[in-house]
Chains A and B, each alone.
Chain A
């Protein structure tokens, strides 16, 4: 039965880890803007300016 004690503590620690990750991401502003990053990922960082389309 003592294994259960360990397992419960471990499971709680894992859950707290995820909660911490969530709080960290909110604090870093990951939830402030849910649109721009989806566009940003499609844009090339170093777009060459030489190719001007007709």
Chain B
């Protein structure tokens, strides 16, 4: 106490300080180090480390912004990485000496991150090299396994601010996507074959090989064409055959079935013509069609690297937890947890399995599971369900059920998660295609019969049959949908709306009901409207309150700190800090006692009733009550307008919340009808609500949610849209991800998706014109290779141009600003 008396309370200075490392305004006490200002110890430590290793060039790169290391880090966090079974699963390669690991680092964000991560070998010589893949946010590290352990490696990059994200998914099975390369091989080979076959077919186009002296040359060309088309037919086009075959086995027709049929017929006819020397075949058109279709598919399926749409609970859960065995701490992979084990859960750690609380008290934040905004207090002996996050001190728990048997994970055993949405309803192209194929096949058969039976000319009949299949090949249809969807995907991406694939865009265009989740979706997490009720606080009091609130990890304290960001805290005059869970915090500021917490804690005589749906934080200075802060959940400002636009356009809107019905009166006018507001919904109830809408009212439902508690509903809905304020952050399995501040443009996104469907239909009409033109030649048996060779690329290119231009115009119309 004596020391405290001597310290003069420093003047709260209101000069803005910017952290030299992370570039943020210093909200807390400024740390001076090496003549630079830092916002926290973490940042100065990173600077020190970089400076020591001569890596300050980091700060020279334009736009460099360091990352403040995670304060929740504790030594030993990564010890589980050294367990042989985990190391083995994470490593890409090892020969006992050199090992290579590919780590996901979601925090990298700029070019200096790339530079720093690729200079890791200067921080520790055991690291041989690092290569960053920025779009995927991955860093591949090659290191000497004899000199540095995997856990030390993870620790090192955590210390400089780039905490690696290691999830159960990574550990349970590696999914290295090689499909991208295979596709490129196929495009390359078919393009090569297409060009060369065209070149070798030129003499044929201009009837140059008719003289006898050129005959042998013509034969050589034909044989070369055949040789070049073999890899196209057997390798590049193999996906079409496989997909058609699997569709036929499932007794339905997909878009690949008629394509496969056309390719097969054209190939066999051409083969026949070359063997019997009756003609040059249509290999050029075959290779061209395959080439264009593969490009279309590639364009459409090229999704956003670095965004994952298929996360389930495993991605959220820690890989390992601390288990207490004979009073010693060990890290154990959560798959090895058995009921009866005692685990230790630290502040902000997720509880991975249903457990009984052993510590006297815990404050569990269930916002992740239930959407409940405020943490719930639990006492010793209570059962705590998996998915909650401990806030505050570490707690000890006894595990009741294994992870896979827990209450939360049971949700994933529901039928909804085993069905594949993509196969449930067919795409527009596939539906049009059904009629198209039948008609084309009808025409082809009719032509064949007319030629064979009436004109008695089986040779022409066979030729006319195959050529009509060739010109009417549904590849134009495939091209119109693939290029439109591919272009839309990239246009949406530019506006920070990320549909998972083309199917999602199509389903989005048919939506007629929109269901919102509350917490995190239409409210902003960790952000609140704060209002002070009482006599205006002095500058010094504000500093006091902020300094005190910083010490606590309670969400209300955190929100207060955020609200008081203009005030600079000072830790020096604070002493005797004490936090009573569930009540409040107190400390001495010099000689003054400051209390922050519930009405009871500060001794307020008249705790006002909770009429205003808000949380209250009372403040007392020297046992004198100064007033209270009122914290209300903050709604996204654009919410009301967006819902209004949706309603005007004929969408039904619902609200589905896991939270208490506190804001019912506020939200009723927005959603129009009280029956459209549902509160206190459990995850399964949300799922069933969507199911009822779909089945009894035949609605196409768009579910907008953010947390694991919405996972079931997102999955069940026609389109599950996850809202995230940081797209590299973790969102549940969904069909699309949108950035929080872009949610206002949802009506525009739906309209653009609708326009996309119109564009596909229009471009299909264009390709139909080409088809009619080509068919007239084919039916009359006069389709020469040269006409086919001109018609096919011209129609493909027109379609590609048309879809690209119109979809860009549509995007400009809907997403103007």
Contact = CB atoms under 8 A, between A and B. Distances in A.
Contacts of B224: 8, 12
B181 A40 contact: no
Contacts of A52: 51, 56, 59
Given A43-B61, A49-B54, A31 B184 contact: yes
Given A5-B220, A31-B180, A40-B114, A47 B57 contact: yes
Given A39-B134, A43-B111, A48-B57, A23 B188 contact: yes
Contacts of A23: 185, 188
Interface string A26-54: 11000111111001101110011111110
B11 interface: no
Contacts of B188: 19, 22-23, 26
Contacts of B111: 39, 42-43
Contact of A36 (B50, B135, B181): B135
Interface in B204-230: 213-214, 217, 220, 224
A33 B305 CA distance: 9
* Contact residues on B (Cβ < 8 Å of other chain), bracket: 35 or more
A10 interface: no
Contacts of A1: 213-214, 217
Interface in A10-26: 11-12, 15-16, 18-19, 22-23, 26
B237 interface: no
Contacts of B200: 8
Interface in B124-139: 132-136
Contacts, number: 83
B185 A12 contact: no
Nearest to B138: A33
Chain B contact surface mostly: helix
A15 B94 CA distance: 38
A1 to B, nearest CB: 7
Interface string B99-138: 0000000000001001100100000000000001111100
Interface stretch (B189-197, B251-259, B578-586): B189-197
A15 B195 CA distance: 10
Contacts of A43: 61, 111, 114-115, 118
A16 B135 CA distance: 32
Nearest to B196: A15
A48 to B, nearest CB: 7
11 contacts: A1-B213, A5-B220, A11-B199, A19-B192, A26-B184, A35-B135, A36-B114, A36-B135, A42-B111, A43-B118, A49-B51
Interface of B: 50-51, 53-61, 111, 114-115, 118, 132-136, 180-181, 184-185, 188-189, 192, 195-196, 199-200, 213-214, 217, 220, 224
Given A8-B220, A35-B134, A52-B56, 12 more contacts: A1-B214, A23-B185, A26-B185, A27-B181, A31-B184, A33-B135, A34-B135, A36-B133, A39-B134, A47-B55, A49-B55, A52-B59
Interface of A: 1, 4-5, 8, 11-12, 15-16, 18-19, 22-23, 26-27, 31-36, 39-40, 42-44, 47-53
